[in-house]
Amino acid sequence: MARLNKTSAQAQAGGGEVVSLDEPLLDCAAAAALLNVRVSWVRDAARLGHLPCLRVGRHLRFTRVMLEDWLVVQLARPPAAGRAYAAAAATLRANASPFRRSTQAALLASLAERPNGTGVEREG
């Protein structure tokens, strides 16, 4: 197996572009620090395809150039277009139940015990 010289090594990304390995690849924590966001946001944005990444096995990796290019594109877009991630999260929240799971389960159990309100006595 031949070894590649680190300074001249290059890899081809899935999109056909050539990625230089002159600089070390960044993990999610380093990318989050560079973008000043949470690590969970970086993982979610990469998983949803909003943030470009390289997959090395099951690991997400980034290059500084890749993140800088992405940031330039984000700054060039109108403000509403950059909120696709927030809109997707809002849609997920809108479809969620207004009750916690435990509260919803207790409510359904109590309704099952008294069908049509027959178990409730009225004073009169």
Interval 70-93 mean pLDDT: 70
Give, for 56, the enclosing helix (H) or strand (E): strand 54-56
Which residues fall within 8 angstroms of residue 91, CB to CB, at 6 or more apart? none
Q: What is the pLDDT of residues 95-118, one digit of tens each?
A: 565 656 667 677 777 777 765 555
Q: What is the pTM for the complete model shown?
A: 0.52
Domains in the chain: boundaries: 1-76, 79-115
Instruction: State the fold for domain 1-76.
Output: Multidrug-efflux Transporter Regulator; Chain: A; Domain 2 (1.10.1660)
